[in-house]
Amino acid sequence: MKEKIVKLLEESTARCVTEGLFEVKNLPFIELEATRDAAHGDYATNVAMVIASQAKKNPRVIAQAIVGKLIDDGLLLNKVEIAGPGFINFFIREDNWRSPLKEIDRLKDRYGALDFGAGKKVQVEFVSANPTGPLHIGHARGAVTGDVIANILKASGHDVSKEYYINDVGNQMRTLGRSVYLRYLEIQGKAIEFPPDHYQGDYISELAREILSKDGDRYCGKSEDEVLPFFTAWGAGSILEGIKDDLGSFGVFFDCYFSEGELYKDDGVMKLLDRLRQQGSVYREGDTLWFRSTAFGDEKDRVVIRDTGTPTYFAADIAYHKNKFDRGFDIVIDVWGADHHGYVPRLKASIEALGGNKDALKIVLVQLVSLLRDGKPVAMSTRAGEYVTLRQVIDEVGRDAARYNFLMRRSDSQLDFDLELAKRQSNENPVYYVQYAHARIASITRMAAERGMEIPGGDEAELALLTLPEEIQLIKSVIRYPEIVEGAAKALEPHRVTFYLNELAGIFHSYYNKNRVIADDPALSRARLFLVNSVGHVLRNALGILGVSAPEKM
RNA sequence: GGGCGGUUAGCUCAGUAGGAUAGAGCGUUGGUCUCCGGAACCAAAGGUCCUGGGUUCGAGCCCCAGAUCGCCCGCCA
């Protein structure tokens, strides 16, 4: 609908220019927005005012010219008005709203699937928590955000791969292995001193017990250097399996788990740094190697090889992102905790230094979550091993409510997650509001079937019978869905889908309360069944993108 | 000290490329139940869009200065 009017406007303005009614250097992007106030029609454009400043003419005169050259051979419009300082308001002929409904019925679960991303390979990397402990609630928001961004991009035609980066190299891994090893000794009654900077959680002791019951005391009496690699590898592997299980319960699945260790094979990282050094982007100072990120807009240069000879995390990350682009991704999206924002310039700098396009890397920052219970903060301390795990959240509030709650804010705004509120099945909890709308529609369909009424196909339903203002409003809302998907995909903003769902469910509930779908008039009932069934499709498709179930009954 | 993000109704937050009279949910108050599912609906009250300048036909949105809150500023990851 929107595109059709934009097209009319483009043709009309072009005609005005050719006929010399006004002059513009280059035609502006035509902005057409759905009006808030019905008195202003269905859509409005400010294009006349935008042109006016260029053409140095009165905007209303410009508007007059554009309207005069409009050719609406498709009988789309009922009325066109010029209003206020120079808005052009479009009133759509009512029957034009109804036919797009048939599209929903025809496409069903594919309605809202777009193709503007066709041919583009996209990678979304998210979670990527170190395998040193179970996922906690902070990871949960990133997990949902990344997952839903991937779904949205898929829905808009992109070829999407979801990836989890495993930091299995470095100090933290060694600390993990040592933590397990010390607990292993401790269980056997050996005197140990457990350092405060080691992992304190109970799961460490559990891992140690598993090893003991599996392998007995065979690791005792050997040097740390000898046994630590085993404890590290076994611990990390075991924890990663747990992470995968938890993510699975949360409805999050990855296409690829990428190990940091991969990057070091065949001296990969060193070779890459040599290459950068040859082109002058990396330089040596004493025993330290620096990346010249200031040459690409960063505040200061960054160390890539310490004076101890070991590479930094950043060194591996340069190689990792090069690897991503080498794998043929056109767009690479990283979902990060907002506390990493300072890291963005240096990473983009590294892409530029390697001759890549820094805009092909998009960073989505996810703000931290404060966990509440009945409005009171829940104490969380990673060091003490005291935190609410993702597993506990799923078990307590359920997957649907948890996911939906994380999607109710834009990802870069802080979020309070209240455990009691999230599991409360009341009107304070919007998940159920939307799911209830879907269950209601399913219920209507069941009732209709009991009375021997089938949902009509698009050609059978007499859509012209849908004349009530609230019916037109419902239709307008439901056919807007593809625009929502498109906007969410371009902005990488999952919350737009959530807000849309709340609005659509609201309009439906209101309609339902005021009017009977299964009425006395069979033809009208069929038309309304068709409408309501379309709403059901859209609710289901949108909930599907969020990874939230659409129940038939509640 | 520097940087990033925020500040919109009592609370939690939207506000789509700078558009017309700034929205939603919750909460509050008052209504709707002979009827397809009341986890619903209807209505009302509620605003210095942090402050002060600027840009223009027009600013919650853009620019400058300030206030305030959070985060970051490691050869940790």
**Cα–Cα distance, A84 to A101 (Å, whole number):** 33
The integer distance in angstroms from the CA atom of A144 to the C1' atom of B9 is 30
How big is chain A by its Cα radius of gyration, in Å? Answer: 29
Question: Which of A303, A267, A265, A268 has the alpha carbon at shortest distance from A287?
Answer: A303
CA–C1' gap, A423 and B48, in angstroms? 38
Nearest-nucleotide field for A411 (CA, C1') = B5
Nucleotide nearest A444, from its CA to each C1': B36
Residue ranges of the domains in chain A? 2-96, 101-115+427-546, 171-249
**CB-count burial class (<10 Å; 0-12, 13-18, 19+) for A461:** buried
**Please, are residues A184 and A208 in contact by the beta-carbon 8 Å criterion?**
yes
Distance CA A515, CA A540 (A): 22
Which pLDDT value is given to residue A360?
93
Rounded to whole angstroms, the distance from the CA of residue A197 to the C1' of nucleotide B75 is 20
Closest nucleotide relative to residue A470's CA, C1' based: B41
What is the CATH number assigned to the segment(s) A101-115+427-546?
1.10.730.10
**DSSP secondary structure code for residue A218 in this structure:** T
> Distance in angstroms, CA of A286 to C1' of B36?
80
Report the nearest residue to nucleotide B71, CA vs C1'.
A339
Residue bearing tokens 């056109």: A330
**DSSP H stretches of helix in A69-217:** 95-98, 100-107, 137-155, 171-187, 202-215
Which positions of strand B lie within 7 Å of protein CB atoms?
2-6, 12-27, 35-37, 39-42, 56-58, 70-77
Query: Could you identify the residue whose CA is nearest to the C1' atom of nucleotide B75?
Result: A306
On the question of a common fold for A2-96 and A101-115+427-546, the answer reads no
A484 in Cβ contact with A496 (< 8 Å): yes
Count helices and strands in chain A by DSSP H and E runs:
21, 15
Q: Which nucleotide is nearest to A447 (CA to C1')?
A: B36
The C-alpha atoms of residue A264 and residue A276 are separated, in whole angstroms, by: 16
Q: Which nucleotide is nearest to A493 if distance is taken from CA to C1'? A: B16
Q: What is the pLDDT of residue A262?
A: 93
Nearest nucleotide, CA A311 to C1': B75
**Other Cβ atoms closer than 10 A to A33:** 10
Query: H or E stretch including A123?
Result: strand A121-125
- Give every residue of chain A whose pLDDT is below 70, as ranges: 25-26, 380-386, 426-427
CA A477 to CA A504: how far, in whole Å?
6
Q: How far is the CA of A330 from the C1' of B14 (A)?
A: 31
- Predicted local distance difference test score (pLDDT) of residue A384: 62
Nearest to A198 by CA among A167, A177, A222: A177
Written out in words, the top-level CATH class of the domain with range A2-96 is alpha beta
| Complete DSSP assignment for A279-332 | TTSEEEETTEEEE-GGGGT-SS-EEEE-TTSPBPHHHHHHHHHHHHHHTT-SEE
Question: Å from A333 (CA) to B2 (C1')?
Answer: 28
Residue nearest to nucleotide B23 (CA to C1'): A36
Bridge partner list, A417: A371
Q: What's the whole-model pTM score?
A: 0.94
Quick one: pLDDT at residue A111? 95
Q: What size, in residues, is chain A? A: 554
Q: In what order do the strands lie in the sheet with A159-166?
A: A256-259, A159-166, A121-125, A331-337, A361-366
DSSP string of A186-198, one letter each residue: HHTT------TTS
